[in-house]
């Protein structure tokens, strides 16, 4: 087989066969196809797209290009959860313990973040002593003992995705629906869970800005999961404003702990309960009502919070910081951003809130940059609130006081006011399964 023929077929709008896709992935990972030919194929895919079968086959080839994790030594149905990423999204830290508290094991591999804030692993590492790197057997043993573990994604998972993502990043081919769907799902398939729950974000802080695009991405990923025998369901959820109040690593850990103790922001609490319900449903625990009740009970009894503490201890961390969150890393400078006017807060550009948090030190511009666990911001007002002139909109937390002005400017520019109370979009906007799209 020749790579030029594969490129030409896709350039002319053809569907690639499993053999052609497998040839491309295997030879590219082995270093026998040069980047310029891979880039040409990516651009042809960007223009021509891929049909569902092609996308599912590409995903499988990508998954198999690295380690395929076998979770079968952990008893029970293992359900994975993935979020396409958003500002203030700390749901894994709440949902995984709730689900584990209901008796469903969670063996989760998460990533670090690039951009706005850290990923789940960066957030967890703001807990003193906590480790996220374990060999496979240690990882499984923690899950068997405590019901859950959240560890760093192995560098060996979906090797093709790592190479292709780096190439997409510099060839303007990231925003292709089949390429995004196959990239995300290759890692999910390789991570070994029996079923998958996806949280596809939509809005100004998300990859996909409109509901229709987000539903299409959700459908593409659900089809891939189902094609490979992993029952998959997706919720399309609002990212037109940050989730919860806190954005930044230790600040988000504190908010997740508060949420598990019943004192969290309403939007975060509701979304976590809904995601936990979906995960429990996927594990076969019962119908939606039963699963919702079980998740709510895990929250109300504090069993979810205890699970998070047990996981933190099992991973070498100090769980006392979850009881007393002031013992998490604290920034030396906390600066209030005051409202320049009175009115209804009608919009807060989510990506700009993320950028402000990154400027304060919470995120990375390049993958080798360190993150400051203490940095970030805590919103005091969100869209839908009435604000008086001079009231505090947000608190900026940083160890680099010279960044405050830039972060404040970003935040104020991102904020819009109206005379009338704004309409609030629903938190969960759609639910996508293999059979249907339910809109809310
Ligand atoms: N996240 C991924 O893992 N891959 C993409 O292509 C986009 C988001």
Q: pLDDT tens digit string along 138-170?
A: 999 999 999 999 999 878 899 999 999 989 988
Check 89, 161, 258, 372 and give the catalytic one.
161
pLDDT for 194 = 96
The rounded mean pLDDT for the chain is: 95
pLDDT tens for residues 47-75?
A: 999 999 999 999 999 999 999 999 999 99
- Residue 108, SS3 per DSSP: strand
Residue 115 confidence class, pLDDT cut points 50, 70, 90: low
Cα dihedral value 353, 267, 81, 438, nearest 10:
-110
Dihedral sign for Cα 14, 18, 21, 27, please. negative
Rounded CA separation 378/398 (Å) = 11
Instruction: Tell how far the Cα of 35 is from the centroid of ligand 1, in angstroms.
Output: 19
Nearest in space to 363 (alpha carbons), one of 383, 348, 347, 377: 377
Rounded CA separation 11/151 (Å) = 40
> 165, 199, 205, 206: which to mutate for ligand 1, most atoms within 8 A of CB?
165
- Residue 99, SS3 per DSSP: helix
Q: Is 335 a catalytic residue?
A: no
Nearest CA to ligand 1 atom 1: 184
Q: Is 168 a catalytic residue?
A: yes
Instruction: Tell how far the Cα of 184 is from the centroid of ligand 1, in angstroms.
Output: 5
Check 187, 223, 381, 397 and give the catalytic one.
187
Instruction: Tell how far the Cα of 86 is from the centroid of ligand 1, in angstroms.
Output: 12
Q: Is 347 a catalytic residue?
A: no
Ligand 1 nearest-atom number relative to CA 183: 4
* Ligand 1 cavity residues, CB under 6 Å: 165, 174, 179-180, 183-184
Rounded CA separation 331/311 (Å) = 26
pLDDT for 155 = 80
CB proximity list for 286: less than 8 A, separation 6 or greater = 280, 294
pLDDT for 116 = 66
> 63, 167, 181, 184: which to mutate for ligand 1, most atoms within 8 A of CB?
184
Rounded CA separation 74/68 (Å) = 15
pLDDT tens for residues 271-284?
A: 999 999 999 999 99
Instruction: Tell how far the Cα of 18 is from the centroid of ligand 1, in angstroms.
Output: 22
pLDDT at 114 over 70: no
- Residue 335, SS3 per DSSP: strand
Structure tokens given for 313: 């201890």
Check 65, 154, 176, 183 and give the catalytic one.
183
- Percent of the chain having pLDDT more than 70? 99
Q: Is 161 a catalytic residue?
A: yes
Instruction: Tell how far the Cα of 242 is from the centroid of ligand 1, in angstroms.
Output: 20
Structure tokens given for 3: 């790579």
Q: Is 72 a catalytic residue?
A: no
């Amino acid at each position: 087989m020749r790579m030029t023929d594969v490129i030409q077929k896709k350039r002319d709008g053809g569907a690639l066969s499993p053999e052609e896709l497998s040839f491309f992935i295997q030879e590219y990972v082995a270093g026998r196809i040069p980047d310029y030919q891979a880039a040409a194929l990516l651009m042809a895919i960007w223009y021509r797209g891929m049909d569902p079968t092609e996308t599912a086959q590409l995903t499988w080839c990508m998954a198999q290009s690295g380690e395929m994790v076998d979770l079968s030594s952990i008893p029970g149905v293992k359900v994975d959860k993935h979020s396409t990423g958003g500002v203030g999204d700390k749901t894994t830290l709440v949902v995984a313990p709730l689900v584990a508290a209901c008796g469903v094991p969670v063996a989760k591999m998460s990533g670090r973040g690039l951009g706005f804030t850290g990923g789940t692993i960066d957030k967890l590492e703001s807990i003193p002593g906590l480790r996220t790197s374990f060999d496979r057997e240690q990882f499984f043993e923690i899950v068997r003992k405590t019901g859950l573990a959240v560890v760093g994604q192995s560098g060996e998972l979906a090797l093709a995705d790592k190479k292709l993502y780096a190439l997409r990043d510099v060839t303007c081919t990231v925003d292709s629906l089949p390429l995004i769907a196959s990239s995300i799902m290759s890692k999910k398939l390789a991570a070994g869970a029996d079923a998958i729950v996806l949280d596809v974000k939509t809005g100004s802080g998300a990859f996909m800005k409109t509901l229709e695009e987000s539903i299409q991405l959700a459908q593409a990923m659900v089809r891939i999961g189902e094609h490979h025998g992993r029952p998959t369901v997706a919720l399309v959820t609002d990212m037109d404003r940050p989730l919860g109040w806190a954005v930044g690593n230790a600040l988000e850990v504190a908010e997740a702990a508060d949420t598990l103790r019943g004192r969290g922001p309403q939007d975060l609490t509701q979304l976590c309960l809904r995601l936990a319900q979906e995960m429990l449903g996927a594990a076969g625990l019962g119908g939606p009502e039963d699963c919702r009740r079980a998740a709510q009970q895990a929250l109300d009894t504090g069993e979810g919070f205890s699970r998070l503490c047990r996981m933190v201890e099992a991973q070498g961390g100090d769980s006392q910081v979850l009881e007393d969150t002031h013992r998490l890393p604290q920034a030396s400078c906390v600066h209030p951003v005051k409202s320049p006017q009175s009115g209804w807060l009608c919009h807060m550009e989510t990506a700009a809130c993320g950028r402000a948090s990154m400027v304060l030190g919470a995120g990375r511009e390049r993958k080798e940059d360190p993150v400051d666990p203490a940095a970030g911001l805590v919103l005091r007002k969100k869209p839908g609130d009435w604000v008086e002139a001079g009231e505090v909109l947000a608190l900026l937390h940083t160890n680099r006081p010279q960044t405050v002005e830039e972060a404040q400017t970003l935040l104020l520019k991102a904020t819009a006011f109206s005379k009338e109370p704004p309409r609030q979009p629903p938190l969960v906007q759609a639910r996508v399964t293999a059979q249907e799209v339910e809109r809310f």
